[in-house]
Structures are given as structure tokens and as C-alpha cells.
């Protein structure tokens, strides 16, 4: 596959951690914070005993708590919708610290692909549109409806699996905390039925849960319109190896002369 596609997917996969870095580097006193207030879509009358109290903190403190939860997560699922490298893209991936991952990636021009990763092995099944655009006609026909499998170290597959590495994403956090912009805090609102408080800096807004653990629930990048939602915290990743009769080993494929991937 073309390198551009792998790089684009990696950039999308890192959207969550990069968003939190953008809102986690303030060294000021959060003078731009707004007092939390009830908004039209808040949930009045909700049992406050389940609240975690983050809406009472400064933007910097809220960001720190959200980053801590993301760093400590054993697994999560994120959905990304937006534009990367000038192309619209949709990503839906569930992953855990053990190296397991399952989900899909799709673009209007390149088609869609299903990705399954179990430790250091990966399976990739693309639709006909993607195979046609990325492979030669013979390889595209052979791969129709099948998974290509191989180790994550395989160059042809590694680009598609970098975004499936939760541990690497968590390690990336904090490396970009060099800014000094003030983090502003908005009024408590709701995200998918859950109360959250939005914090904003550098064109990025993060909605952090105000009930239960202070998970980051949504990350919005106003610069390119990318929206990332995070769910299924610490839930098992639905990844399992495909049936052998639906799989083609990439090494055997290459040895057979089908090099057009």
C-alpha cells in the first residue's frame, strides 16, 4: 500500500493524545476560566452523589485529570471523523495495552478496510475499491473478500497498525506540553447523554466527564473540524483471528509474485 495512507492513519490514531496535549500545557492561572453554569442540554436533577467534582476545578486541573485517565486506561475505543492530509476520513478502533485492536478505517476516495491486530500479528481486509486503488489488478482480484495477514513488522502492514498501539499513544502524551496558552472552561453540558465540562486551548476543545471517572469523552479540533469520541473504557477488545480459509499470508503472496500491494 502507498505510504501516504499509513501515515494518514497514524495521524488520525494519535488525535486523542495530541488533543489532550494541546489542552494540558498551561502554566498560567486559568484566568480565562468561565464559571460553570447550567446549559440548555445539561441534565438537571441528576444525582449529584455520582459527580466527580471536576467542574469545580480549573481548566488545567481538569486537563490533568483527563490525561491521567487516558494514560491509565487498559483499553478504549475511539471514533474519528474529519480531514487528514486533505482527505476526509472515518476511523473506528477499539484497542488495549496488550496490543489487541479491531476496527475500520474509511475514506471516500480510497475505500474502506477492516483491521484486526492480536499482539504482533495483524489482519487487513480492504474492500474492492481500496484494493483496486492500492494493488495491481491481479492482486486485487485475489484479495477480494479476504484478509491479508502478517507480522506488524511487515512494512506493507505496519502503517495500518500504528494507530492500533494504545501503549504507544499513551507514551506519546506529555511530549508536546511546551505551550503557555490559557485553558478556558465552559459550562457543564452533555455528551451522548453523559454530563461533561468542556475545556479549550489552541483550537482544541475537550469534553471531560463530570460523573464517574473524569474520562475525556469528546475532542473537537476547530482548525480542521476533526471530531474524536472516546468510549468503551477498560472493556474487552472484540478482536479475534479470522478463519484460516479467509486469510492469505502476505509472505506467501509476495513469493508468488503478487507484489502490487
Dump pLDDT digits (tens) for 72-129: 999 999 898 987 667 788 989 999 999 999 999 888 877 888 999 998 899 999 888 8
Report the C-alpha gap between 179 and 171 in whole angstroms.
19
pLDDT category of residue 182 using cuts at 50, 70 and 90: confident
Report the C-alpha gap between 62 and 199 in whole angstroms.
8
pLDDT for res 164? 83
pLDDT for res 32? 45
Compare 178 and 125 and report the one with higher pLDDT.
Answer: 125
pLDDT category of residue 39 using cuts at 50, 70 and 90: very low
pLDDT category of residue 180 using cuts at 50, 70 and 90: low
Domains of the chain with bracketed CATH? 3-231 (2.50.20.20)
In eight-state DSSP terms, residue 196 is E
pLDDT for res 142? 80
Report the C-alpha gap between 100 and 122 in whole angstroms.
9
> Residue range 236-253: average pLDDT?
90
Report the C-alpha gap between 52 and 50 in whole angstroms.
7
Compare 35 and 181 and report the one with higher pLDDT.
Answer: 181
> Residue range 230-247: average pLDDT?
94
145, exposed or middle or buried, with CB in 10 Å at 0-12, 13-18, 19+? exposed
With 60 as the cut, is the pLDDT of residue 29 above it?
A: no
pLDDT for res 6? 36
* Residue 152 and residue 1 in contact, taking contact as beta carbons nearer than 8 Å: no
Q: Return the SS3 of 6.
A: helix
Report the C-alpha gap between 136 and 133 in whole angstroms.
8
Report the C-alpha gap between 190 and 207 in whole angstroms.
9
Amino acid at each position: 500500500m502507498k505510504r501516504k495512507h499509513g501515515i494518514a492513519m497514524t495521524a488520525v490514531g494519535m488525535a486523542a493524545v495530541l488533543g489532550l496535549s494541546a489542552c494540558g500545557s498551561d502554566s498560567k492561572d486559568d484566568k480565562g476560566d468561565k464559571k460553570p453554569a447550567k446549559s440548555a442540554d445539561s441534565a438537571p436533577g441528576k444525582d449529584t452523589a455520582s459527580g466527580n467534582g471536576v467542574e469545580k476545578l480549573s481548566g488545567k486541573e481538569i486537563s490533568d485529570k483527563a490525561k491521567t485517565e487516558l494514560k491509565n486506561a487498559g483499553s478504549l475505543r475511539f471514533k474519528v471523523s474529519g480531514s487528514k492530509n486533505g482527505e476526509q476520513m472515518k476511523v473506528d478502533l477499539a484497542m488495549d495495552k496488550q496490543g489487541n485492536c479491531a476496527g475500520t478505517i474509511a475514506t471516500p476516495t480510497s475505500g474502506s478496510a477492516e483491521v484486526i491486530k492480536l499482539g504482533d500479528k495483524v489482519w487487513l481486509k480492504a474492500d474492492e475499491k481500496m484494493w483496486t486503488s492500492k494493488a495491481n489488478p491481479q492482486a486485487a482480484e485475489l484479495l477480494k473478500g479476504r484478509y491479508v495477514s502478517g507480522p506488524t513488522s511487515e512494512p506493507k502492514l505496519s502503517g495500518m497498525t500504528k494507530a492500533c498501539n494504545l501503549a504507544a499513544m499513551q507514551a506519546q502524551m506529555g511530549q508536546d506540553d511546551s505551550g503557555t496558552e490559557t485553558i478556558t472552561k465552559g459550562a457543564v453540558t452533555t455528551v451522548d447523554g453523559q454530563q461533561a465540562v468542556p475545556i479549550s486551548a489552541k483550537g482544541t476543545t475537550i469534553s471531560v466527564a463530570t460523573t464517574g471517572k473524569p474520562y475525556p469523552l469528546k475532542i473537537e479540533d476547530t482548525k480542521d473540524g476533526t471530531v474524536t469520541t472516546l468510549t468503551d473504557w477498560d472493556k474487552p477488545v472484540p478482536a479475534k483471528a479470522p478463519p484460516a480459509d479467509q486469510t492469505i499470508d502476505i509472505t506467501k503472496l509476495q513469493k508468488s509474485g503478487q507484489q502490487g500491494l
